[in-house]
Amino acid sequence: MTSVLVVDDEPSFIEALSVGLRREGFEVRTAADGRAALAEISGSEPDLILLDVMLPGMSGLDVCREIRKTTQVPLIMVTARGEEIDAVVGLEVGADDYVCKPYRMRELVARMRAVLRRASPQPSEPEATCLVEGDVTLDIDRHELRVRGELVSLALKEFELLAYLLANAGRVVTRDSLMQNVWGYNYVGDTKTIDVHVKRLRAKIEDDPSDPQRITTIRGLGYRYERSVTS
- Same-domain status, 12 and 96: yes
Q: Does a structural domain hold residue 67? A: yes
Element (H, E) at 50: strand 48-52
Check whether residue 172 and residue 200 sit in a common domain: yes
Same domain, 112 and 132: no
Range of the domain at 82: 3-119
Statement: residue 92 has pLDDT above 70: yes
Is 50 exceeded by the pLDDT of residue 115? yes
CA-closest candidate to residue 50, choices 96, 4, 18: 4
Confidence of residue 176 (pLDDT cuts 50, 70, 90): confident
Residue type, position 221, single letter? L
Q: Is the pLDDT of residue 123 over 60?
A: no
User: Considering only CA atoms, which of 139, 142, 120, 144 is closest in space to residue 128?
Assistant: 139
Give per-residue pLDDT as tens, 132-160: 998 999 998 888 999 999 999 998 889 99
Q: How many domains does the chain have?
A: 2
pTM summary value: 0.57
Q: Which of 100, 119, 138 is the last residue of a domain?
A: 119
**One domain, residues 110 and 196:** no
CATH number of the domain within which 79 lies: 3.40.50.2300
- Phi and psi at 221, nearest 5°, equal -125, -65
Evaluate whether residue 231 is within a structural domain: no
Whether the predicted pLDDT of 230 surpasses 50: no
Query: Domain with 169 in it: what CATH number?
Result: 1.10.10.10
